[in-house]
């Protein structure tokens, strides 16, 4: 099936694209707000994508429903030294679900404009581009997962060195992302303030960082030993830390997380991503997904792991 971006390109620009690309969204299983401090994280690329179709042009023209899409594309092109482009964008990464559609857009742009890039270099380039486009000092995890994810696996990533290894994700658990309904622009939240506080060693913030890094190690071991129940308990511990020590949750998000905890078949759940709204991540026993969707009372998507843009 031809990606929708191709038909959007032909419709908007009356031509045939010179390049095409796609990149996946991501979930972070555990390890929130530690990537920018050089900690270890455990993300996975998922089967929701941003597709691009493009061609060189005299000036920038972007056909996109993605908020801020042109700014992101220009930022990646500037990092690569590429000129203006006509670009059409399609996506199946759900808007507002905290699955890093922005990172997927950036990585897809890098893959389309410079497909021979090393995936690690592409992730770092896209991190710089997002920081410049938004003014938010994001870490490298989202871009790395979108560039180098692997189907059937999560990535144990050391954000200080970018050393990584792939951890098999079991068939017995499903990843479910639930929309809290709380929308936010990170630039309008205390995200940068929380980062500065964590970097400065403020006790409550640092307590979250240290305990979360320890949970990443425990979660990885639990995956490797097939201990699904322990994975769920670690998600609950992570949420309490994000809520109480880092203070990036909201009452509305907390209510959805606690509802998820009460549903049979839900192993655990927590706020995901940068916080202050967005989505929650739940791990659900395979076979319990319909009961979970009925019980949670909010829009949700069941995700499978996927290959990244720079993984063939």
Judged by average pLDDT, the poorest of 35-49, 143-157, 179-193, 218-232 is: 179-193
Rounded to whole angstroms, the Cα distance separating 120 from 145 reads 10
pTM: 0.91
279 C-beta neighbours (distance < 10 Å), count: 27
Rounded to whole angstroms, the Cα distance separating 194 from 306 reads 31
> Catalytic positions, please?
142
Domains of the chain: 4-167 (3.30.230.10), 169-303 (3.30.70.890)
Contacts of 118 (CB under 8 A, 6+ apart): 310
Residue 189 is predicted with a pLDDT of 80
Rounded to whole angstroms, the Cα distance separating 275 from 59 reads 36
102-154 per-position pLDDT tens digit: 999 999 999 999 999 999 999 999 999 999 999 888 889 999 999 999 999 99
pLDDT over threshold 60, residue 190: yes
Nearest to 16 by CA among 31, 25, 5, 28: 5
Burial 290-308 (b: 16+ CB within 10 A, else e): eebbeebeeebbbbebbbb
């Amino acid at each position: 099936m031809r990606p929708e971006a191709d038909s959007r390109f032909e419709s908007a620009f009356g031509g045939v694209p010179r390049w095409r690309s796609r990149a996946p969204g991501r979930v972070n299983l555990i390890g929130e707000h530690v990537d920018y401090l050089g900690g270890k994280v455990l993300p996975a690329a998922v089967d929701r994508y941003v597709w691009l179709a493009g061609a060189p042009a005299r000036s920038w023209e972007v056909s996109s429903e993605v908020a801020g899409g042109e700014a992101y594309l220009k930022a990646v092109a500037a990092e690569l030294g590429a000129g203006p482009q006509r670009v059409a964008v399609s996506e199946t990464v759900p808007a507002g679900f905290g699955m890093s559609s922005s990172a997927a857009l950036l990585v897809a742009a890098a893959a389309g404009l410079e497909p021979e890039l090393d995936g690690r270099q592409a992730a770092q380039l896209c991190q710089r581009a997002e920081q410049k486009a938004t003014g938010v000092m994001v870490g490298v995890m989202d871009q790395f997962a979108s560039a180098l994810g692997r189907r059937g696996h999560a990535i144990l990533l050391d954000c200080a060195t970018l050393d990584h290894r792939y951890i098999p994700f079991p068939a017995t658990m499903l990843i479910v992302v639930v929309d809290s309904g709380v929308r936010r622009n990170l630039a309008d939240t205390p995200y940068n303030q929380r980062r500065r506080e964590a970097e400065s060693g403020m006790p409550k913030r640092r307590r979250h960082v240290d305990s979360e890094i320890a949970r990443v190690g425990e979660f990885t071991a639990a995956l490797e030993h097939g201990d699904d129940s322990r994975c769920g308990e670690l998600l609950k511990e992570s949420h309490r830390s994000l809520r109480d020590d880092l203070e990036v949750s909201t009452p509305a998000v907390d209510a959805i997380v606690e509802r998820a905890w009460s549903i049979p078949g839900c192993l655990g759940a927590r706020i995901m991503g940068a916080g202050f709204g967005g989505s929650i991540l739940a791990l659900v026993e395979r076979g319990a997904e319909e009961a979970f969707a009925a019980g949670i009372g909010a829009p949700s998507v069941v995700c499978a792991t996927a290959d990244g843009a720079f993984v063939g």
